[in-house]
Structure 1
Amino acid sequence: MTTPSASCYHPAVPYDPSRPVLRFAPSPNGRLHLGHAYSALVTWQAAARLGGTALLRIEDIDTERCKPEFTEAIAQDLHWLGLDWPEPVMHQSQRMDTYAAAGNALRDQHLLYPCFCSRTEIAALATETDPDGAPLYPGSCRHLHRGEQIERLERGDPVQFRLDTSAAMARVGMLTYTVLGPLITDRPQIRHARPQRWGDVVLQRKGTPTSYHLSVVVDDAAQGITHVTRGRDMEAATDIHALLQMLLGLSSPIYHFHRLILDADGRKLAKSKGSPSLASLREAGWTPDDVRRAVGLEN
């Protein structure tokens, strides 16, 4: 199938919540690279194929690492690629009260508990790893006596709040979500979610009332997102999102998992690895069409 030209990435209709709504949601903690460009282009392409709209959302809950200059750079890079979106843009840093309310809803269901374990302690006690290869939390604090929880909270010990995943799954039973194939308009498939493989994930931390998992499901529902395009590295995390959507009574989008853009060593591009930014490629003379060719989306 021929990929649409740059102009075809723009939605054919104005933003209409009754039509499909997609989103591209980068974190402004560095400059965008080719992997981000591919994900953004796939999102706008999917919106065009579905007759819907692509939104930009800024996921900046990490207020220490996220910077305004990177937010501005994201817009510059996307406009350079020929992409546009409806205003205003949602910024997660402005929605902390909303995330806190979602966390409180889980507390009311007795599904959050305080955990005082450090990463070093977890690594020493863990006997398994999660889908990302990190030490799997063994549930050490899940059954702490209420009196000890209160004492440590009042003392100000470092704390994070974890989802009791086993209890949550016992409440919802069998869990599924819907997936689309490579052409976006393919027949949807039902996939069974297995959030247990992540153990009891952290949803809130002391001083930060949310996490990626919690904020993303709250915002997808708030914006009426009907389809989520994300990299295959996020496929397993979707299990957690499906569970949170069910527990919070939120809508569940249809998902599409696209391929990843890899470097010469076969590793996923990443800001932390110093992958070349779109800005540096632009300064080196690259054009938006060069970017499309580099990521396999030739016009």
Structure 2
Amino acid sequence: MAKRSAVVAPVAASVAARTGDVKLMAETGLEAYKFSISWSRLIPNGRGAVNQEGLKYYNNVIDELAKRGIQPHIMLCHLDLPQALEDEYDGWLSPRIVEFGDRVLHWTTLAEPNIAALGGYDTGVLSPGHCSDPFGLTECTVGNSTVEPYITAHNMILTHAAVVRLYREKYQALQKGIVGINMFSLWSYPLTNSIADLQAAQRYKDFSYGWILHPLVFGDYPQVMKKTIDSRLPSFSQVQTELIKGAIDFIGINHYYSAYVNYRPLVEGVRDYVADRSVSARVYKTDPPTEKDLSLA
């Protein structure tokens, strides 16, 4: 379960239910508003009866947005896996998580699965706070940074694809909606024009975006990840490849800032996701390099 000592931030709270807030959005000319429908709020135990008060809350939010001509963009899971599923199945570490996808309908399935896997299961700074020495950025009591990020991302990809298939087969023809996924984005530029740095910038993109998007477009992980991570990277069966390939109608991008990256030799022995990338990154060219992931520093 999420460790007791972890600082687990509350699920991103929507303030749009208050009429005044939506009125201000309309006055500023906003055409759309993205917010998450918290799984923990609607179905606190991860399955079973829907919390009617939670359902009423989101209906009020959507009605108010529609009244003001603001298009709602819905996020179905934003780093808020119900604790009951974490306790019973080890959360995203279990392939059983894929079975829960039939409870959601449409829109954006997952928020930043790339950063959720890294922060939650490698560096340990996000819930459920898994990491292992010497890779964690916090003190963790459980986890394995060398494999867990890859396992969780793998299961997230399969979950997303299962939801997409469900929506396309049962709802899309009638509802005319689309379903996609949202990615954390930190763009990489080569620090120098050397071949090594040019390759490092591309490798950073492959590990950051290709990790999730390459399977959803082509049905498998980027070749550089397969070669570097080897047996620690889960593989897709033929059936799974057919499920995930093309399982996106759109890609949402949360772009925060960019960074300069340069080549860092691949270390021998035990490695985590950050070490597997074999790059150093900095926000400004004059900054000292950091081996830590800038997005979670």
TM-score by length of 2: 0.25
Greater percentage in helix? 2
TM-score by length of 1: 0.25
Higher relative contact order (CA 8 A, sep 6+): 1
